[in-house]
Amino acid sequence: MLDSDDKQVIKDAREGGAMLVTWDRVVRLEDGVMTPYEALNQAKETGTGTKEAKAEISRLHELTPAELTVMVDMGNQTFKSFRQHIEVKREEAKLIRQLRVKKDYSWRAIARFYSGLWGAPWGGNQLAGMVICEKAAKLLREDFLQPPWN
């Protein structure tokens, strides 16, 4: 299930002629496009690549080292803060797993759901949803980045 943030991010990317890149399987499946990695691999395997692969490759933006450093630093700080402040109880872990695995909630949808439930300020922040899923999966002795979670 995509939340309103997911839908807007996908819409903005499409309207801007860009591609959304995410590790969130729910968003990838809903959007129905190749990841840049798939496009690059396809282009390498076929020599020149299909029309679709070429289109995807043309949309890639190469980050400068400075841009990447800033993004990584801010993401790490935010992720670390969420890890320190978000707590998931064992009884909540089962519901989180059901929402993510059975109902296909995206990480943003998980974050928005629990932001409302817990009265937390993060809204649909994808990193918050990742931390919630990570902590729930650990309580259930699973890995949130592996199937069936992702």
Q: Where are the domains of the chain?
A: 4-59, 77-139
Exposure string over 81-103, b if 16+ CB within 10 A, otherwise e? ebeeebebeeebbeebbebbbee
Confidence (pLDDT) at 61: 65
Confidence (pLDDT) at 92: 95
Structure-token pair, residue 24: 């969130």
Confidence (pLDDT) at 109: 92
pLDDT averaged over every residue in the chain = 82
Confidence of residue 111 (pLDDT cuts 50, 70, 90): very high
Q: What is the DSSP letter of 137?
A: H
